[in-house]
Chain A
């Protein structure tokens, strides 16, 4: 039987360890590395949001950049035009921008298409958003929206000053950990189980009395909202929302993270995002080497360990526990034989 409590605790510990590891970075690294670590933390949740859709519901998105950019631009616009709005509310509204994009797109696309056709539609729609951004003066055209300030949060009993990169970095990693844990809870709760059931057999789930499309749409909106939240959190950190974040290459990133880390595991995209960040850092002085390394690594992972890095780890452990079990079983039979 599955021990749900143990499973919950284990994953909570994993999240806490991740948070602790990221919390150490400012003490041991320079500002460049700190910046990268902050982006990796955001990418982790961005990857989780994509894999929630892919492994959690069975929907393939090639256009997650549109949500990310939606959140980033929403946040940038709010901070520029409504500076008096509380920071946390602005974040929520930024995330809602992505949710809204997902809702509008999902209502149209999920009714019409599935599988690869759906994926191609997400790509097309995402490109449309990218072009829209680069052509709209209000959104800064090709220059993007610059000079986004970092916030000072009024807490009532005091203020939380996040204007320094390090302070804001801590805000990022705490926010990302919270969202990651929330996503884990959702995926393992009854609703997440149902979505998983939809991925595994739509017809069976329908004939348990479930409106498939409604649930797919819900999942799509949740995924879009989380991706947009990542974008919204990033903007004050980089202090710019540029059109590159709406480009299709950004859509490929969570896919890369997931394939590297392992689609079948909840934390797969997290492992992939960290690895991806490390490669980026290791090859930062040689232009183009990063892409080559990632490409070769991806090829190797897909060909040699299709389950990703975590998939490999899990298989190793399963094999080890299996051999341990057969050993104890062997002992037991010899004992009973001796008993006779």
Chain B
């Protein structure tokens, strides 16, 4: 296995508050790595640091063997990261279909250069076809023309996932992909994510609260507690870890 992401000795603090302390984190190619931890453990901060939404105070982050510590989020995206947000971020006033078009055109722009889509007004045929394929893959057929802001919570999440997939990332980072979903939607989402992972050969990095989702998806589990990693490894081993049971799983 190759190591696709490698973070070493990350420190992150907001003012006086230290959120991450000496965190080292690896992501192997092809794995589905889930980060769990109680509220305030630093999951989201870790997620933000790795994706480039915020810079770390010290430490280093490597992506595909390249140092990306000093790079902004959009530059890391161009190097193969796709991410979703805890509360789905989509372009509210555009139709769901246009959301996908924007995502695909953005990828083409990064791949082929600025002039790839120049000279056209309407999206090119290939872009439209690709958008339609994503629509079918993710089951967004019914909602194509509605303003994305009016979609249901679950559809917004699916649309955001589709937009991330349109970037053809190597690593897909999902921040609590099932937050706020009903139990039935949740199992549906888990099925969809593992489908997508298999089909695109993706490496996944997730944060999640729901244990069913965690053990449904994870091939590796990392437990964060007070800004430090206390366990990391195969899910069933982590589950059996005494310290983990104490701080986290034991509560359930």
Contacts and interface: CB of A to CB of B under 8 A. Distances in A.
A interacts with B: yes
Given A190-B105, A194-B105, A201-B92, A209 B120 contact: no
Interface of B: 51, 53, 72-75, 77-78, 82-83, 85, 89-95, 97-98, 101-103, 105-107, 109-110, 117-118, 120-123, 144-145, 163, 167
Given A193-B98, A197-B91, A204-B89, A210 B106 contact: yes
Contacts of B82: 207
Contacts of B73: 206-207
A21 interface: no
Chain A: number of interface residues, binned into ranges: 20 to 34
Given A1-B97, A190-B105, A194-B106, A207 B77 contact: yes
Q: Lowest 8 CB-CB distances: which A-B pairs, in order?
A: A4-B122, A209-B77, A190-B117, A204-B89, A200-B91, A208-B106, A209-B78, A190-B105
16 contacts: A2-B98, A4-B122, A185-B121, A188-B121, A191-B118, A193-B101, A194-B105, A196-B94, A197-B91, A200-B94, A206-B77, A207-B73, A208-B106, A208-B163, A209-B75, A212-B74
A5 B122 contact: yes
Contacts of A212: 74
A295 interface: no
Interface string A172-214: 0000000000000100111101101100110111111111100
A197 B74 contact: no
Given A2-B98, A206-B74, A209-B78, A201 B91 contact: yes
A209 B94 contact: no
Given A185-B121, A207-B82, 18 more contacts: A1-B145, A2-B145, A5-B122, A189-B117, A189-B120, A190-B109, A194-B109, A196-B91, A197-B102, A200-B93, A204-B90, A207-B51, A207-B53, A208-B74, A208-B77, A209-B106, A209-B107, A210-B106
Contacts, number: 93
Contacts of B83: 207
A237 B187 CA distance: 69
A203 B90 CA distance: 10
Nearest to A188: B121
Nearest to B121: A189
Contact of B102 (A2, A203, A207, A208): A208
Contacts of A201: 89-92
Interface in A1-36: 1-2, 4-5, 8
Most chain-B Cβ atoms within 10 A of its Cβ — which of A190, A203, A205? A190
Nearest to B92: A200
Interface in A97-153: none
Nearest to B99: A197
B8 to A, nearest CB: 23
Contacts of B118: 189-191
Contacts of B72: 206, 211
